Every structure is written in structure tokens, then in C-alpha cells.
């Protein structure tokens, strides 16, 4: 009762083929394969960016302490 048997899946497959046709299903498979290839290519191209340093935000407090100025305390609450 809980799972579908092989016969259930075959009946579903036959109904899908009858509704959509083999040509349309072939096009869907082709498009899906191209999408997967494009995704893999994008992931490989993205790995090249790992060698580059990522952008960093400036920490004004660190800059003030480096320049010899005293650190100013804000009355603002941190966000």
C-alpha cells in the first residue's frame, strides 16, 4: 500500500508518453541535459574566482588604532 510497484510506474510512464508524445519528452530531456552541462560549467568557472581575494569591508575602529588615534566609543547600540 505504501510504495508504488514497477507496474504502477510503467502505467504512469505509458500515460505520460500518450499525453505528451515522444517528441516533446525528447526535447525536455535534451533541454534538461543542456541545463545540467551549463550548471557544471558555471561551477567550474566559479572555482576560478576562489583564487582571487574576496572583497573586505573596512573596519574604521581598526584604522583609527593603527593611525595612533584613540578608539572612540559610540553610544549607539550594535546592529
> Measuring CA to CA, how many Å separate 21 from each of 10, 33, 34, 47?
15, 19, 20, 40
The answer on pLDDT for 24 being more than 60 is: yes
Q: What is the mean pLDDT of residues 63-73?
A: 56
The answer on pLDDT for 62 being more than 80 is: no
Q: What pLDDT, on a 0 to 100 scale, did the predictor assign at position 47?
A: 63
- Count the Cβ atoms, other than its own, within 10 Å of residue 61: 13
Which has the higher per-residue pLDDT, 32 or 79? Answer: 32
- Whether the model pTM is above 0.85: no
Q: What is the mean pLDDT of residues 45-49?
A: 66
> Measuring CA to CA, how many Å separate 33 from each of 36, 40, 43, 45?
5, 11, 15, 18
The answer on pLDDT for 34 being more than 90 is: yes
Amino acid at each position: 500500500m505504501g510504495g508504488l510497484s514497477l507496474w504502477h510506474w510503467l502505467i504512469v510512464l505509458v500515460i505520460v508518453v500518450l499525453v505528451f508524445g515522444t517528441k516533446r519528452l525528447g526535447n525536455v530531456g535534451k533541454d534538461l541535459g543542456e541545463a545540467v552541462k551549463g550548471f557544471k560549467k558555471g561551477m567550474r568557472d566559479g572555482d576560478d574566482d576562489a583564487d582571487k581575494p574576496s572583497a573586505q569591508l573596512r573596519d574604521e575602529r581598526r584604522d583609527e588604532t593603527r593611525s595612533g588615534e584613540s578608539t572612540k566609543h559610540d553610544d549607539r547600540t550594535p546592529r
